[in-house]
Structure 1
Amino acid sequence: MEAMLRDIEDIEYFSKLIYETVHIPVFYINKDLEVITGFPAIFTSNPIYPSYDELFTQLDFFNDPLHVPVLRTTNFLENFISIKVGNNDKFEGAWILGPSVYSPIAEETIYGLLNDFQVRISGDTLKEYYESLPVINKLTLLHAGLLATYLLYSKRLSVTDVIQKDTMLTNNVTIEENPDLHVSKNRQEISFHASFQWEQMLMQCVKEGRKEDLINKFVVPESEGKPGVLSKKSHLRSEKNLAISAITLATRYAIDGGLHPEMAYTMSDLYIQGLEDIKSALEVQIYLREALCDFTDRVNEVKHHKYTTPIIECQSYIFKHLYEEITLVQLAKVVNLHQNYLSALFKKEVGTSITEYILKQKVEEAKKLLTHSNYPLSEIYTWLNFHDQSHFTKVFKKYTGTTPKKYKNQCLKP
């Protein structure tokens, strides 16, 4: 096989075979980092890298073991499988599978990367590049590496045999100062972090939907210690980091209290993003209190409705698939119950039929879109699977007492 790989026709054959099998770009490069062949023939390279040479150098596969797939993820979220080729430990070339991404890259992430690394290219250019990449989840990518290795060398490996590395990141991650010395200093000064018990009491308020108790316990009593310092260079940054930690904890406790995970995580994302625009430590404290109160209020709303597991699973499915057509047959399969039994159980516990519940949820979603976006009515009712505008208006008026247009106009009034 080693001799075969030196033949350009064989290299092209294997490159094409791998590409057509796993649908990921494949390149073979020699020891001088020259691309011998690749599929597809025309491929959009990352505009961040001036040349393939720089990319290949940053992938740094020179010290990899021979004939073993290595998974790498760059700082720019690209994933590559590399397989170093050689004979008697002498480097002859490498197969590169990639780039790919695990999921579509959001526009906010793209602009965040440009800002983090101070890259001087347009966001649209980088967005176009990411949209050209195949989306392949991690397990599939690992299997692609195993398949390529077997095709090339008849070498059987498992997923655990694939070496995984993060490129362009340091491996020397250490704590700058000794935590033992810090604890000793705190003991000498009788100055400790806020107690775990206080934190638990606060978060238990979130979990149980007790807003008044949350507000009363929000400020750490002196007897309970003091908040940590999460940035030595900036007090504001430290306060923001503490708030991020608290919001993260509240998210988990809210989910444990019954708030739908997707809602909880979305709230967490938005509140943490909002922290970055705050200019003073006092504002951070006020903002955090409002965030925790919001989580608590939403948990409290959920607490009023205690349903059995099948009903909760149905509601969760409806929540996630609201923009799709949802039928009783689908829901019955989800919870593994007979359609008639599920229909009767849902009506008994929720107080309304499944159809009515779905329509109400769609109307609630439409109200949010009408209030917080500029999407035209035609798009909103199409997204929510209404037959036409007349049907949408009829259903909307049934549950709100007004038409979508009038509702939107009322929301626009100061």
Structure 2
Amino acid sequence: MEFKHIQKLIKDIHSVELHVIHTTEDLKKLLSQGKLESDNQQLITTLYEAHQNDLDPLFVETNSDCHFIMFPDSDCYYLVGPFTLEANHRSLPYLKRASLRSLAELLYYLIFEKQGAKLLFSEDLEASSPLPLTRSPLTPDTPLHQQELENLMLTAIREGQIAKVKELLLLNPINKENDSIGVLSKKSLIRHYRNISITTVTLATRAAIQGGLFPEIAYTLSDRYIQALEETQFISDISKLMTEALVELTRKVSQEKQLNFSPITNKAREYISNHLYEPITREDVADFLMISPNHLDKVFKADLDNSIARYIKHEKLNLACELIEQQHYSLSDISESLGFHSLNSFSKLFKQHYGYTPSHHLRHSAK
């Protein structure tokens, strides 16, 4: 997964920032922006220099309620924070202490694409005892080798085989849990299954992209389901959401494979999908493909019976609809980020396309 998507995922789930540090000077500059006391800056810098050979995430707790998680990669260093563990703190993102391990495990997996991270603590640098996550997230309690099953699932997603994905999902152990198990009765178990499901959706997203689904579509869909997984409080709902995510990703791959468009149209659609957060014109797409705008329009209309300008507007509005449903962004932010001239013009176009306003869709999504 691209780093910017990992940053966004960590920000959306845990409300904290993820930074990449390449040198001690980079670290000092970042710490100075956070207005840390000099002794705390020195503590983090010292740990940064001493922790280069240990890949496990390290939780750094300062004496000013300004905390970090940090760990190195082969050519850089990752820093998560600052955040606070105090619920009444107003100037920093609040993170529950119980969420530290889940954040460290998720981030470690997203960056290194493997499990097994141990969260170390700066006060003693002794290994903690996190809930073991050594099994593959797609592994059921069957004699089938776990790597073989995971490969079967990811291959089915890449190939758009919906029936096969549903068959393999029936083997998932989460589907066998009791519907009544809630966050208050077995909180650690809930967190365990959330981590498994988030990891599974991440793997499935990558497989869908490899199968031909445009990255922006795949990541938007993934973000929506991961947010829903974080908010649910029952294991049975986690199972349903993970199943829905994998089936939906596979369905979109299948739909993409059934389209028999020309190479020009496919490349144009991919370019548009990757630049939805920018102002896009048919001239931009034509320049990218090194053909004339008129020829691009002719090919595009033959394949899709639609002009490229209308297609761009359609894709931007579809993405806007997805972002509204996530309920993490204001309508003005969505309008601005997608390059609409104003919130008013965005609302008019949205109503023309869907038959109701963005505000109406937001209210309906919140129910």
TM-score (norm. length: structure 1) = 0.50
- SS in structure 2 opposite 1:60? helix
Counterparts of 1:169 and 1:341 in 2: how far apart (Å)? 65
AA aligned to 2:39 is: D
Whether 1:59 and 2:10 are equivalent positions in the alignment is no
> What is the CA distance between 1:63 and its match in structure 2?
8.3
Residue of 349, 353, 363 corresponding to 2:307:
353
- The change in CA–CA distance for 1:173 and 1:203 in structure 2 (over 3 A counts) is same
The range that moved more, 167-176 or 206-215, is 167-176
- The change in CA–CA distance for 1:208 and 1:193 in structure 2 (over 3 A counts) is closer
AA aligned to 1:275 is: L
Counterparts of 2:125 and 2:263 in 1: how far apart (Å)? 45
Counterparts of 1:270 and 1:409 in 2: how far apart (Å)? 15
Residue of 149, 163, 182 corresponding to 1:198:
149
Aligned twin of 2:169: 218
Contact 2:350-2:358 within 8 A present in 1 as well: no
Task: Say which one has the larger Rg.
Answer: 1
> What is the CA distance between 1:364 and its match in structure 2?
3.0
Point out where structure 1 has 5 or more consecutive residues left out of the alignment.
1-23, 28-37, 65-72, 80-100, 128-166, 177-181, 183-189, 223-232
Counterparts of 2:256 and 2:289 in 1: how far apart (Å)? 21
How many residues get paired?
277
Whether 1:114 and 2:83 are equivalent positions in the alignment is yes
- The change in CA–CA distance for 1:245 and 1:380 in structure 2 (over 3 A counts) is closer
Aligned twin of 2:181: none
Q: Deviations over 1:155-175 (max 9, x none)?
A: xxxxxxxxxxxx969999899
Counterparts of 1:216 and 1:293 in 2: how far apart (Å)? 11
Counterparts of 1:336 and 1:328 in 2: how far apart (Å)? 12
> What is the CA distance between 1:303 and its match in structure 2?
2.8
Residue of 346, 352, 357 corresponding to 1:404:
357
Counterparts of 2:346 and 2:199 in 1: how far apart (Å)? 46
- The change in CA–CA distance for 1:366 and 1:61 in structure 2 (over 3 A counts) is closer
> What is the CA distance between 1:255 and its match in structure 2?
0.8
- Aligned CA-pair RMSD: 5.2
Counterparts of 1:353 and 1:322 in 2: how far apart (Å)? 17
> What is the CA distance between 1:260 and its match in structure 2?
1.7
- SS in structure 2 opposite 1:124? coil
Aligned twin of 1:239: 193
> What is the CA distance between 1:197 and its match in structure 2?
3.2
Q: Deviations over 1:61-111 (max 9, x none)?
A: 9989xxxxxxxx9963799xxxxxxxxxxxxxxxxxxxxx99xx9xxx75x
- The change in CA–CA distance for 1:273 and 1:377 in structure 2 (over 3 A counts) is closer
Which of structures 1 and 2 has the larger relative contact order (alpha carbons within 8 angstroms, sep 6+)? 2
Contact 1:194-1:220 within 8 A present in 2 as well: no
Contact 1:324-1:385 within 8 A present in 2 as well: no
For residues 107-256 of structure 1, the aligned pairs below 5 Å read: 114=83, 118=85, 122-125=89-92, 194-220=145-171, 235-256=189-210
Contact 2:217-2:273 within 8 A present in 1 as well: no
- The change in CA–CA distance for 1:200 and 1:243 in structure 2 (over 3 A counts) is same
Q: Deviations over 1:228-250 (max 9, x none)?
A: xxxxx955454334323322221
Aligned twin of 1:301: 255
> What is the CA distance between 1:251 and its match in structure 2?
1.1
Aligned twin of 1:332: 286
Contact 2:335-2:342 within 8 A present in 1 as well: no
- SS in structure 1 opposite 2:170? coil
